[in-house]
C-alpha cells in the first residue's frame, strides 16, 4: 500500500513564525502536491512538484514556498505565518502522469495565533 | 480552464435509501474525472475514476458514477447507503493538457439510522 505521512497532525504557531510542514511518501512517486482544505472551499492546490528540485505554482502559492531535495520528501514552508493561513494542509503523491490518481496523507491541522 | 461544481454541500439520507451526489464540470478539453472520499479525521482516498472507455464506473463498495459528456456531469450514486458511508465526498477533474487537478467544494453525506 502507498503510504504518505505528514510530520504533524496538529500544529500551533504564532504570527510571524517560519513554519515547516513535511511530507514523505514511500512508493517512489514522481509527483507530489500540497493543498489546503477549508470549509466551503474544498481543496486548493498550493504547489506541486513533478521531480526532484522541480516545482510549479498551483492556484494559491502566495505566502508559501516548497522544497524537494529528495524524491520521497516534499516540504511546505510558510515564511512568515499569518492567521489567514490557519487551515488543514494535505499532502499527496502520484506516480506517472500528474493528472492521475493521487494518494493523500492524513493532513496537518495548522492554527496560527 | 477547468472547474468543478458540487451543488449540494450537505446531503442527509436515511440508511438503506438511495443517494445521488451531483458533480458538474466545465472544460474545453478532454477530461478525466474522479470521486474521492474523506472519512472523519482521515485523508482523502480514491473512490472511483473515469479515464476512458465505459462511461459507467464502479467502486468496490457499491458506488457508481456515469460520465455524461453532453451534460458535463459525473454524478455519484448508490442504491442503498450504510451508516459507514457517512463522509465528505469530493469530485475532481483533470486533463492531460495541463498539470493540475481541480477539486469541487465537497458534499457532506450523512446517513441517518
Residue count of chain B: 113
Nearest residue in B to A46, CA atom? B100
Inform me whether the pLDDT recorded for A95 exceeds 90. Answer: no
Model confidence at A97: pLDDT above 90: no
Distance of residue B95 Cα from the nearest chain A Cα, in angstroms: 6
Give the residue-averaged pLDDT of A79-87.
Answer: 97
d(CA B55, CA A61): 35
> How many contacts (CB atoms, under 8 Å) link A and B?
58
pLDDT at B98: 63
B8 at interface of A, judged by CB pairs closer than 8 A: no
In order along its 113 residues, chain B shows pLDDT tens digits of 668 999 899 999 999 999 999 999 987 777 889 999 999 888 899 999 998 888 899 998 899 999 998 999 999 999 999 999 999 999 999 876 666 678 999 999 999 99
Quick count: other Cβ atoms within 10 Å of Cβ B7?
A: 11
**Is B43 close to A101, i.e. CB distance below 8 A?**
no
Q: Which of A47-56, A86-95, B29-38, B98-107 has the lowest mean pLDDT?
A: B98-107
Terminal Cα distance for chain A, rounded: 37
Contacting residues of B for A104, CB less than 8 Å apart: 36, 43-45
**CA distance linking residue B5 with residue B83, whole number of Å:** 26
Enumerate the residues of chain B whose CB falls inside 8 A of the CB of residue A93. none
Note the pLDDT of residue B30: 76
How far apart CA B4 and CA A100 sit, in angstroms, is 16
- CA–CA separation, A68 and A50 (whole Å): 10
**A30-44, A47-61, B95-109: the lowest-pLDDT one:** B95-109
Choose among B6, B44, B49: nearest Cβ to A104: B44
Half-sphere exposure of B55 (CA within 13 A, CB side): 10
Considering only residues 17 to 46 of chain A, which have any Cβ-Cβ distance to chain B shorter than 8 Å?
33, 35, 40-45
State the smallest CA–CA distance between residue B96 and chain A in angstroms: 6
Amino acid at each position: 500500500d502507498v503510504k504518505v505521512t505528514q510530520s504533524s497532525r496538529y500544529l500551533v504557531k504564532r504570527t510571524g513564525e517560519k513554519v515547516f510542514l513535511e511530507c514523505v511518501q514511500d512508493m517512489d512517486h514522481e509527483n507530489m502536491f500540497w493543498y489546503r482544505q477549508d470549509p466551503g472551499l474544498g481543496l486548493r492546490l498550493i504547489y506541486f512538484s513533478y521531480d526532484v528540485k522541480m516545482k510549479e505554482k498551483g492556484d494559491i502559492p502566495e505566502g508559501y514556498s516548497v522544497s524537494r531535495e529528495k524524491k520521497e520528501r516534499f516540504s511546505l514552508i510558510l515564511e512568515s505565518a499569518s492567521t489567514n493561513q490557519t487551515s488543514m494542509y494535505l499532502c499527496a503523491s502520484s506516480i506517472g502522469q500528474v493528472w492521475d490518481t493521487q494518494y493523500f496523507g492524513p493532513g496537518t491541522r495548522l492554527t496560527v495565533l | 480552464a477547468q472547474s468543478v461544481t458540487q451543488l449540494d454541500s450537505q446531503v442527509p439520507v436515511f440508511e438503506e435509501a438511495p443517494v445521488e451526489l451531483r458533480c458538474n464540470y466545465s472544460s474545453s478539453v478532454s477530461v478525466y474525472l474522479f470521486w474521492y472520499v474523506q472519512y472523519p479525521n482521515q485523508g482523502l482516498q480514491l473512490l472511483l475514476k473515469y479515464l476512458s472507455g465505459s462511461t459507467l464506473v464502479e467502486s468496490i463498495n457499491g458506488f457508481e458514477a456515469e460520465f455524461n459528456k453532453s451534460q458535463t456531469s459525473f454524478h455519484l450514486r448508490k442504491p442503498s447507503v450504510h451508516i459507514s458511508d457517512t463522509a465528505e465526498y469530493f469530485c475532481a477533474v483533470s486533463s492531460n493538457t495541463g498539470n493540475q487537478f481541480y477539486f469541487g467544494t465537497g458534499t457532506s453525506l450523512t446517513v441517518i439510522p
